[in-house]
């Protein structure tokens, strides 16, 4: 229309990658779907079971339904607790990071260090760190007379895994918020100084509105990670004490591998996936609306 030539050669590089991703994801997905609609008598003998596993899973009066609801509630509670702590904390620290000078690089590297540690190593570190006999944190609390035991006290286990996740992933929120702050033009700050705006007024009227899109991305990423968390709490608590920290991912693993109940595990896995996709769609819709409002 305007005389510009559209170059679509980039699709030659993108399509093979998309094809590989679809191929590598569709086959496991179809295997899960196959298990979710069949039952097994052993010896690799399967027969059609229809939607029976899904009806049991979504019925709170059944054993698997009550188990699924409890695990879902624990998972959502954990995600909400982490988001409530990490988002404000990440924004606050990002505001304190220097914008110019030699300290910028050092500060960002130090902040990003926890994210570079593998998940299983993080769990092992905190498992040792919180032990009441040799762990620095656990032994210190016990020495102060505080009843702290990750393997026997549900409150201790919850506090530990929440603090562990905050330590591990708040840096992601910090880096995203810092990038959003750096993208704000200096003209806004100059106008605020001319008007004599206070620090709080600058944050509430300039920085926070400009961070909306970045924060939506941060919330989306953190929700997905906390909602699907597995390795860290499994290493530290094993889902205990009892089932206090048995999240959906851990419960799914116990049903599929521990009990070899592939039908219920397949149904739970698909519902788990649908919940994650639904939340991602909601956040994508919010991001789209924010983008449209900004363009108006």
- The structural domains of the chain, with segments of one domain joined by +, span 11-295
Domain 11-295 has CATH 3.40.50.300: no
283, 214 in Cβ contact below 8 A?
no
Per-residue pLDDT at 296 = 59
Residue 166 in tokens: 């905050």
Ranges of the chain whose pLDDT falls below 70: 1-7, 42, 291, 294-296
Count Cβ neighbours within 10 Å for each residue of 257-293 and write b for 16 or more, e otherwise.
eeeebbbbbbbbbbbbeeeeeeeeeebeeeeeeeeee
CA-based radius of gyration for the chain: 24
Question: Would you call 46 helix, strand, or coil by DSSP?
Answer: strand
Residue 80 in tokens: 């909400």
* Cα gap 174→275, rounded to integer Å: 27
* Cα gap 211→91, rounded to integer Å: 9
* Cα gap 207→213, rounded to integer Å: 12
By residue count, the chain amounts to 296
Per-residue pLDDT at 7 = 66
Ramachandran region, residue 4 (left: φ > 0; alpha: ψ -120 to 50; beta: rest): beta
Write out pLDDT tens, residues 257-271: 888 888 899 999 999
Sign of CA dihedral 232, 235, 241, 243: positive
Per-residue pLDDT at 5 = 62
Question: Would you call 41 helix, strand, or coil by DSSP?
Answer: strand
* Cα gap 20→24, rounded to integer Å: 6
264, 190 in Cβ contact below 8 A?
no
* Cα gap 249→267, rounded to integer Å: 13
> Distances in Å between the alpha carbon of 207 and those of 106, 188, 211?
24, 9, 6
Per-residue pLDDT at 218 = 92
* Cα gap 118→213, rounded to integer Å: 28
* Cα gap 239→150, rounded to integer Å: 11
Write out pLDDT tens, residues 75-128: 999 999 999 999 999 999 999 999 888 888 899 999 999 999 998 899 999 999
């Amino acid at each position: 229309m305007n005389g510009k030539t559209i170059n679509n050669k980039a699709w030659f590089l993108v399509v093979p990658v998309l094809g590989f991703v679809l191929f590598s994801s569709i086959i496991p997905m179809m295997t899960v779907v196959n298990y979710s609609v069949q039952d097994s008598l052993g010896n690799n003998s399967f027969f059609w079971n229809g939607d029976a596993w899904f009806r049991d899973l979504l019925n709170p009066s059944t054993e698997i339904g009550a188990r699924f609801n409890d695990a879902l509630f624990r998972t959502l509670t954990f995600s909400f607790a982490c988001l409530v702590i990490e988002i404000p904390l990440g924004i606050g620290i990002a505001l304190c990071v220097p914008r110019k000078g030699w300290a910028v690089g050092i500060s960002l590297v130090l902040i990003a260090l926890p994210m570079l540690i593998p998940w299983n190593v993080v769990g092992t570190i905190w498992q040792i760190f919180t032990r009441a006999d040799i762990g620095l944190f656990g032994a210190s609390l016990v020495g102060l007379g505080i009843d702290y035991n990750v393997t026997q006290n549900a409150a201790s286990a919850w506090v530990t895994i929440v603090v562990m996740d905050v330590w591990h992933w708040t840096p992601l929120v910090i880096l995203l918020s810092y990038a959003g702050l750096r993208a704000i033009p200096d003209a806004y700050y100059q106008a605020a100084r001319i008007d004599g705006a206070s620090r709080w007024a600058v944050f509430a009227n300039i920085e926070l509105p400009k961070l909306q899109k970045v924060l939506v991305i941060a919330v989306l990423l953190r929700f997905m990670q906390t909602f699907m968390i597995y390795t860290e709490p499994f290493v530290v608590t094993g889902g205990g004490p009892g089932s206090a920290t048995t999240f959906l991912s851990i419960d799914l693993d116990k049903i599929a591998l521990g009990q070899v109940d592939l039908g219920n595990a397949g149904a739970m896995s698909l519902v788990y996936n649908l919940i994650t996709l639904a939340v991602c769609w909601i956040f994508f819709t919010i991001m789209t609306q924010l983008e449209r409002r900004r363009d108006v």
